[in-house]
Every structure is written in structure tokens, then in C-alpha cells.
Amino acid sequence: MKKIKMIVSGRVQGVGFRFTTKMVADRLGVKGYVKNLDDGSVYIEAIADDIVLENFINKIKASPSPSGRVTYSKIVEDDTIEERRNFDVLY
């Protein structure tokens, strides 16, 4: 299993981005969470097999929300991320 931290910015808050990210994660079987950051960006921790995670990342970069738009993304692999049972939306 590969573990990543991802920060995306652009039009990613107030457009249903977190909830559509959860829908994508649940459909693909990705574990982790998504939350808004104070600077207007969105933070994601995701855990999945390499191929599944690559597919997830591509879908997030393309914006899972029809009214959202990702203009920047930063992805860092991090083996210290805690295992999770689900993919959650945090507040």
C-alpha cells in the first residue's frame, strides 16, 4: 500500500469538492480523509495500491466537483500516515 499527502488549490472550497472527493475514494477503495485548510486549499491523505492511487490522483487533479477547478497540486509520499478503515470528510 502506498500512502500520500496531497494539497490542492484553485476553486476547491465551496463547490462540493470534499464530498465528491469522498465519492471518488469510496468508488475506488481508497482510504484516508479530506479537509479544507484555512488558506483556501484542500488537504488529502490517501492510502491505496499504486495503480488505484494513481487513478485517484488523476481524478482529483481533474476536479471531482463539476464546478471546481484544481490549479495546483503537491503530492508527497509519507509512510507514517495512519491506516484508516474508510475515507472521511473532516471539518
Q: For residue 49, give the CATH number of its domain.
A: 3.30.70.100
pLDDT of res. 39: 98
- Coil, helix or strand for 76? strand
Looking at residues 55-82, what average pLDDT do you find? Answer: 97
What's the CA gap between 5 and 26, in Å, rounded?
Answer: 17
pLDDT of res. 5: 98
Would you name the residues annotated as active-site residues? 18, 36
- Per the structure, the count of domains in the chain is 1
Nine cell digits for residue 84: 484508516
Looking at residues 57-85, what average pLDDT do you find? Answer: 97
For the chain, the farthest-separated pair of C-alpha atoms sits apart, in whole angstroms, at 33
Looking at residues 59-78, what average pLDDT do you find? Answer: 97
Domain enclosing residue 44, as ranges:
2-89
pLDDT band at 70 (very low <50, low <70, confident <90, very high): very high
Q: Taking the model in full, what pTM does it have?
A: 0.97
Q: Which of 3, 63, 9 is nearest to 31 (CA)?
A: 3
| 25 φ/ψ angles, rounded to the nearest 5 degrees | -60, -45
| pLDDT digit string, tens, across residues 2-60 | 999 999 999 999 999 999 999 999 999 999 999 999 999 999 999 999 999 999 999 99
What's the CA gap between 24 and 35, in Å, rounded?
Answer: 15
